[in-house]
Amino acid sequence: MDIDYILLIPALLPFAAALTMNAKPLKSTGPRRFFLVSVLVLELIFTAVSAFAVRGTVTLFALDESLSVSFRIDGLGRIFSLLVAVMWLLSGLFSQEYMAHEENTGRYYVFLLLSQGALMLLTYAANYLTMYLGFEFMTLLSAPLALHTQTDAARRGGFKYLFYSVFGACLGLFGFFVLHTYGLSTVFTPGGVLDPARTVGHEGLITAAAFLSVIGFGAKAGMFPLHAWLPAAHPEAPAGASALLSGVITKAGVLSVIRVVYYQFGADFLRGTWAQYTWLALTLITVFLGSMLAYKEKLFKKRLAYSTVSQVSYILFGLALLEPTAFTGAVLHVVVHSAIKNCLFFTAGAVILKTGKKDVRELRGIGKEMPITMWCFTLCSLGLVGIPPLGGFVSKWYLAQGSLASGIPIFSWLGPVTLLVSALLTAGYLFPITVSAFLPGSNFDYSAVQRREPTRWITVPLLILTALTLITGLFPGIITSVASTVAGTLC
C-alpha cells in the first residue's frame, strides 16, 4: 500500500468502529470498553504516523482540480489532527465512568466515533470542497451528542446547534462559488488563489464573500452574531461531549476560517479592507460579551460554555489581525484552550456525577470532598486567566504582542485592553469557585465531609490535561515553532 494512503486510516477507522459498536459481542460493558479504548488508542497512533510520515495527496474523486475530494496533511493539519486524536481518547476514557449508568451508551459511543471521523476528514482536507463536506458531516454527526439526553432543553440546544451551523455553512458555500469563479483553483494554497486577471472590477463581491465565509464558519467557533447555539447546546450534552464540543469542535470553525482566509482569499487581499476591520470588531465584541455573560451565569456548565464563546474569539482576533506573531499566538491558544476547557468540563461532569450539584453556588466545600478534581480545576483556571507559567499566559502574550505590532488604527491597542479586561472577568467567574471549594468558611460543617473523588477513568484524564496546560506554558516552542513557520508563508 502506498504510504500516503495511511492518511485515510485516521478518518476511516472511527467510521468502521462506529459501525461495529453495537454488534452483539460488544453489548456488555467490559468488551465495549476494551473495544472503544483500543480504537481510540489506535486512532492516536495512526494519526501520529500520518503527521510525521505522510507527505503526499490522496484523491478519492475528481471532476477537475477544484471539484475533487482530496486529502493531505500540512503543518496546521498535524497540530489539529493530533489535538483531535488526543482529546477524543481522553474523552473516551472519561466517559467510561461518566456514562456507566446512562442509557443508550451504545448510541453515544457510535456518534462519538462518527464525529471524530468527520472532523478528521475536515482536518485533512486538501481543498475547499473537501473541507466543506467534512464541515457538514461533522455538524450532522456531532448534533446527536448534544441531543443525547433527549430533554426539552437538549432538543432546543441541539436543533439550535444544527440551525446555526448549517446556516453558517451556507454562507461558506457562497464563498466557495465565488472562489471557483474568480480563483485559479480551490486547492489550499498559502497566500491565496485569487486570479488578478479575474478579480479586477469584482473586488467588492469577493470581499463580501470572504467576510460572509468568515461569519459562516465562525458560527461553529461561537463568534458573534452566530454564537447563541453554544451556551444552549453544550451544557445539555453529557460532560464528555460538552468538553469536545467546547474544546475541539469549535476549533473546526477556527481551522475552516484559517483555510478560507489564508489559503483561499489571501491575507494580502483582505488586509486593510472593511471586512478585516468588521471582523476584528466582532471578535472583540464576542470576547467581552462572552466574559460578561459567563461572569453573570450561575449554572456551572453554562458558565463554562459562555467562557468558550469568549476564549475562542481570542483565537479569531489573532487571526483577524493578519499578522505573524498574532497568528502564532492564535494557533497556540487553540491547543491551550482545548486542554484547559476539556479539563474544566470534565471537572464539572465529575462534580455533577458525584454530587448532583449543577449550580456554582452549591459548590461550597467541594474541594474538601474532591480535592484532586478541584485542584485540576484550579490550575487550569489559572491557565485560562493567563497566569504564568501556564499555557494561557504564553498564547495571550503572543496575541497582545501581535496586536501591538500590527499597527492597525484603534485595534492595535484596543485588542490588548479588551483581552486584559476579559482576563479580569475570567478570574471573576472562575476564582470564586475555587475559593468557595477550598475555603468554605468557619461555619462550614467539616464533620459532614465525605470523599467523593471519581475513579481513575476520570482523574487520569484530568491530570493529563492539567499537565498539558503546564507543559504548553513551560515549553511552548513545541507548537510555536510549527505555527511560526506556517505564519511565515501566510502573513
Q: Distances from the Cα of 236 to the Cαs of 245, 300, 337, 363, in angstroms? A: 11, 12, 21, 19
pLDDT, one tens digit per residue, over 176-235 is 999 988 988 889 999 888 988 888 888 999 999 999 999 999 989 888 888 888 888 877
pLDDT band at 53 (very low <50, low <70, confident <90, very high): confident
Task: Tell me: pLDDT of 124 over 80.
Answer: yes
> Does the pLDDT value for residue 1 go beyond 50?
no
Helix, coil or strand: residue 328 = helix
Tens of pLDDT, residue by residue over 62-79, are 777 678 888 999 989 999
Please state, in angstroms and rounded to a whole number, the distance separating the CA atoms of residues 127 and 298. Answer: 43
pLDDT above 60 (res 129)? yes
Spatial distance between the Cα atoms of 88 and 475, rounded to a whole number of angstroms: 23
- Please write down the HEC assignment for all residues of 139-204: HHHHHHHHHCCCCHHHHHHHHHHHHHHHHHHHHHHHHHHHHHHHECCCECCCCCCECHHHHCCCHH
What residues are paired with 125 via a beta bridge? 71
User: Does the pLDDT of residue 367 top 60, yes or no?
Assistant: yes
Which pLDDT score is estimated for 65? 67
* DSSP 8-state code for residue 357: -
Q: What is the mean pLDDT of residues 283-303?
A: 92
Q: How many CB atoms lie within 10 A of CB 34?
A: 11
Question: Each residue of 131-141: pLDDT tens digit?
Answer: 999 999 999 99
**pTM reported for the whole predicted model:** 0.94
- 163: exposed, middle or buried (Cβ count in 10 Å: 0-12, 13-18, 19+): middle
Alpha-carbon torsion angle 244, 248, 251, 252, nearest 10: -80
In tens, the pLDDT along 337-346 reads: 999 999 999 9
Using CA atoms, how far residue 272 sits from 259, 279, 308, in Å, is 19, 11, 28
pLDDT digits (tens, 9 = 90+) for 152-166: 888 888 888 888 989
Question: Residue 69 has what DSSP assignment?
Answer: E
**pLDDT of amino acid 61:** 83
What count of other Cβ atoms lies within 10 Å of the Cβ of residue 165? 27
Domain boundary assignment for the chain:
1-270, 274-491
Rounded to whole angstroms, how far apart are CA atoms 295 and 425?
Answer: 6
Q: What are the Cα distances from residue 325, in Å, to 153, 182, 261, 275, 394?
A: 41, 30, 16, 21, 12
By 3-state DSSP, what share of the chain in percent is helix, strand and coil, each rounded to 5?
Answer: 75, 5, 20
- For the record, the C-alpha cell of 286 comes out as 464576542
Q: Identify any residues that bridge with 183 across adjacent strands, giving them in sequence order.
A: 194
The pLDDT value recorded for residue 5 is 83
Of the candidates 196, 201, 174, the one whose C-alpha atom is nearest the C-alpha of residue 184 is 196
Share of residues in the chain with pLDDT > 70 (%): 99
Residue 446: pLDDT above 80?
no
Residue that is written with C-alpha cell 439526553 in the block: 149
Q: What is the pLDDT of residue 2?
A: 59
From residue 68, alpha-carbon distances to 77, 132, 217, 437, 457 in Å are: 19, 12, 21, 54, 42
CB 60 within 8 A of CB 69: yes
89: pLDDT strictly greater than 70? yes
Q: Exposed/middle/buried for 197, CB within 10 Å: 0-12, 13-18, 19+?
A: exposed
**pLDDT confidence band for 112 (50 / 70 / 90):** very high
Query: Within 10 Å of residue 441's Cβ, how many Cβ atoms?
Result: 9
Residue 343 has what pLDDT?
A: 95
The pLDDT tens digits for 313-334 are 999 999 999 999 999 999 999 9
Average pLDDT in the chain: 90
The answer to whether the beta carbons of residues 410 and 298 sit under 8 Å apart is: no
Q: What is the reported pLDDT for 303? A: 92
